[in-house]
Amino acid sequence: MNHQCTLCKRNKNDTEHLFELEDEAICDICLIDINIECENAQYNRTELKHLLSTSTHCSGCGDSIIDDSQRLLLNIGKTAVCTGCLINTEALLEEELKEEAEPFESQNSVSKFKNKKLEELLTPRQIHKELDKHIIGQVSAKKAVAVAAYNHSLRINNLLEDTDVEVKKSNMLVFGPTGSGKTHIFETLSKLLEVPIVITDATSKTAAGYVGEDITSILNELVAKADGDIQLAEKGIIVIDESDKLSKKSDNPSITRDVSGEDVQTGLLKMMEGHTYEVTGELRKHPNSKGSKLDTKNVLFVLAGSFHGIESMVMANREGGNKIGFGADIKCEEDTFKYSSLKSSDFIKFGMVPELIGRVPVLVPLEELSIEQLRQVLTDPQNAITKQYEAILKSMGIKTDFSSDFLTSVAKNAKKLKLGARGLRGVIEGELSNVMYFGPELPSKTITIGSDKLSKEIKELQSNDI
C-alpha cells in the first residue's frame, strides 16, 4: 500500500487526504488543480494520464468533466469519480468516523438516581401485592423475588453502610416450566422499581471474538436502558432469560469450543462477581468508539430458564432409574415432579458450570399452572386476555361477557398444550376468530362468549356468505 503521493511525493502525514488507487496514490493538494505547482515539480494532464479515466461524466455527481481546470476524472474500479466528489466524500467520512469515535459521554455527574430513605422504599409485602395484580399463583416465587428486590434497594440506596458487615448481593436462579410466569414477574418488577431492568435472551450471546453478540453487550443494553446514566446502570438488574440453553452440550471432552454455551457461562462469572467493563452506550459497538467504565459490583443478576428435560434426569438419578422385576418401585400418577425439589447440584448435572451456579445462591422455583390458575390468568390480571377482547369489541359498540364453561374449556385446552399461560392466547384466538370476524355485523350489542344465542347469530351470518 502506497503512503506517498505519486505526483508530489508528499507523505501521508503531510496532507489532509491521501487517496490510494490500487498501486498509485494522489494527495488532495494535487487533486485540486491539474496544473498545481508543488515543491518538487509542476504537473500537467499529460503526466497524470495513467490515473485518468476515459469517461466524460462523474458517477458521483453526474457532471460532465471535459477540460475542467479544477477537477479530474479518476478510475475507481469500474467507475469514474471526479476529484471534487472524492474530496467531499473523504471529508464527510472522516467527520463521521470522528464523531463515532468520540468517547461516550456518560451522565455520571448528573445522575438521575437519588438515594432514598428507608420509609420511601416499597416493602417486600407491598412489592408482593403489586405482583399479585399481574401474576397468578407462584406465591413462594413472588415472595422470594420481592425480598430480593427489597434487599437490592437497601444496598443501592446505601442503607446498609452503618453496619460492620459487608452484605453481598444475592443473585437469583429462577426456573420453572414454560408459561409459568418467569419473565412476566420481572417485566412487572421493572415498572415498580426505579432502576433499569434489562431482560435479555441468552441464545443470542457468544464468547468474545465469535459471530453473535458478545456477552458484555448486555451491559451496553443496561446503559441504554438507563439513558446513558452510568451510575444508574450500576444499580440495575440484568435478567438472562433462556439461560438453560447455555448448558454444556456433553460431558465428553471436545476439540471444538462451545462458544454459545459453556464459554458464555464462563464469561458471566467475572461479570456477576463484580468487575469493571468499558461500555459505549451503543447496542452495537463501533470499532473506533471509546467508552466509559461501568462496575458490575452492585448489578443484580438473574438467570431464568425452563431447564426442559431436567425433571426426567433428576427422577432417574435421584430414585435409581427405572426398576423392573420383583421389588420394583412402581410409580403412581400422583408421583409428579416438583420444581421446588431441585437443588444446585441438579443444575450442575444438567450442564451448568459449578462456579456459575455458586454465584446464584437464591433458587426461585415456579410450578406448572393448574387449570383453575390458567382460568384465573384469563380474567384476573390487569391486562388479562379477556379484558383485551372486551376492549376491542367495545370499540365496535359491543358489550361482552364470557361464560364460565367457555373459560374452563379454554384453560383445559391450553393445559393440554403444556405451554402454560403462553398457550392461552393461541387457544382463545382460535375460539374467537368468528366472533371477531362477524363482530361489527352482529345484531346483538350485548353478547356472552360461549352462549348458544351467539353461536346461532354467527351461524346465520355464515350462511349468508355461502
Please report the pLDDT score of residue 255 as a whole number: 44
Please report the pLDDT score of residue 350 as a whole number: 87
Under a CB-based contact definition with an 8 Å cutoff, are residues 197 and 149 in contact? Answer: no
Half-sphere exposure of 172 (CA within 13 A, CB side): 27
CA distance 354 to 265: 10
- 450 — alpha (psi -120 to 50), left (phi > 0) or beta? left
Per the structure block, which three cell numbers stand in for 249? 452440550
**If one looks up domain 109-325+332-365 in CATH, what number appears?**
3.40.50.300
Please report the pLDDT score of residue 147 as a whole number: 93
Please report the pLDDT score of residue 318 as a whole number: 61
| Cβ partners under 8 Å of residue 222, min gap 6 | 196, 198, 233, 236, 238, 294, 299
Nearest to 106 by CA among 227, 274, 225, 237: 227
The residues of the chain scoring below 50 in pLDDT are: 33-45, 93, 97, 100-104, 106-109, 209-211, 254-257, 332-334
Which CATH code of 3.40.50.300, 1.10.340.30, 1.10.8.60, 3.40.47.10 fits the domain covering 371-465? 1.10.8.60
Please report the pLDDT score of residue 312 as a whole number: 82
Please report the pLDDT score of residue 65 as a whole number: 63
Please name the amino acid found at residue 395: S
Kindly report the pTM of this predicted structure: 0.66
CA distance 375 to 424: 9
Please report the pLDDT score of residue 218 as a whole number: 87
Domain borders along the chain are 12-101, 109-325+332-365, 371-465
Q: Look at the alpha carbons of 247, 249, 250, 256 in this order and tell me if their dihedral is positive or negative.
A: negative
- Cross-strand pairs, 206: 214
CA distance 75 to 54: 8
Q: Look at the alpha carbons of 132, 136, 140, 144 in this order and tell me if their dihedral is positive or negative.
A: negative
Per-residue pLDDT reduced to its tens digit, 273-332: 888 888 876 655 555 556 688 899 889 999 999 888 888 888 776 655 555 555 555 554
- 3-state SS, one letter per residue, for the chain: CCCECCCCCCEHHHCCCEEEECCEEEEHHHHHCCCCECCCCECCCCCCHHHECCCCECCCCCCECCCCCCCCEEEECCEEEEHHHHHHHHHHHHHHHHHHHCCCCCCHHHCCCCCCCHHHCCCHHHHHHHHHCCCCCCHHHHHHHHHHHHHHHHHHCCCCCCCCCCCCCCCEEEECCCCCCHHHHHHHHHHHCCCCEEEEEHHHEECCCCCCEECCHHHHHHHHHCCCCHHHHCCCEEEEECHHHHCCCCCCCCCCCCCCCHHHHHHHHHHHHCCEEEECCCCCCCCCCCCEEEECCCCEEEEEECCCCHHHHHHHHHCCCCCCCCCCCCCCCCCCCCHHHCCHHHHHHHCCCHHHHCCCCEEEECCCCCHHHHHHHHHCCCCCHHHHHHHHHHHCCCEEEECHHHHHHHHHHHHHHCCCCHHHHHHHHHHCHHHHHHHHHCCCCEEEECCHHHHHHHHHHHHHHC
CA distance 378 to 75: 68
Under a CB-based contact definition with an 8 Å cutoff, are residues 127 and 146 in contact? Answer: yes
Direct distance between the N- and C-terminal alpha carbons of the chain, in angstroms, rounded to an integer? 75
Please report the pLDDT score of residue 142 as a whole number: 93
Half-sphere exposure of 60 (CA within 13 A, CB side): 18
